[in-house]
Every structure is written in structure tokens, then in C-alpha cells.
């Protein structure tokens, strides 16, 4: 499964588990206001760390993603490192 597909799956799964409605997960979708709260994001990041073996947010120089596309790019870059 690709990085994008895994991330999409986790966003959709966590949204469903927490009875949240999220819009289409397009690259330009702002993460703030996408329908998920900080707990949902924490769960997603934890699950992705288990899946990919990396936590891109642990690095001191990490620029936090603003859009869904930037979130995916962050994991793509970290998984290759």
C-alpha cells in the first residue's frame, strides 16, 4: 500500500471511529478545520508511526504541515530517509 493510501485510510478510519465527518482528502485541504481534533491527529500519527516506523514530528527542524498534501509529503520524505 502506498504512503498516500495508508494515510487516507487512517484519516477515514479515525474519522469514522470518532463519528466525525471529513471532506474529500485533497492535497489542498487545510488540516485545521478538516473535521478532526487534536486527539484524532494524535491517533493518526501514532498509527502511522507503527506502520512506517518513523515519527516525522520528532525531528527538531520539522515544519508542521498545513495541508493534507504537505502531511503526505512529510511522511513520504521521512519514510525514504
Instruction: List, for residues 8-44, the tens digit of each pLDDT value.
Output: 999 999 999 999 999 999 999 999 989 999 999 999 9
In sequence order, the 6+-apart residues with CB closer than 8 A to the CB of 74 are 56, 62, 65
Instruction: List, for residues 50-68, the tens digit of each pLDDT value.
Output: 999 989 988 888 889 999 9
- Domains of the chain, earliest start first: 3-80 (1.10.1200.10)
- 3-class secondary-structure state, position 22: coil
CA distances from 56 to 17, 20, 23, 61 (A): 24, 25, 24, 10
At residue 58, the pLDDT reads: 85
Amino acid at each position: 500500500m502506498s504512503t498516500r493510501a495508508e494515510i487516507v485510510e487512517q484519516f477515514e478510519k479515525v474519522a469514522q471511529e470518532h463519528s466525525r465527518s471529513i471532506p474529500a482528502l485533497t492535497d489542498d485541504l487545510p488540516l485545521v478545520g478538516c473535521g478532526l481534533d487534536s486527539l484524532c491527529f494524535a491517533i493518526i500519527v501514532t498509527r502511522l508511526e507503527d506502520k512506517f516506523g518513523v515519527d516525522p514530528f520528532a525531528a527538531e527542524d520539522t515544519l508542521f504541515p498545513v495541508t493534507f498534501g504537505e502531511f503526505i509529503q512529510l511522511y513520504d520524505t521521512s519514510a525514504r530517509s
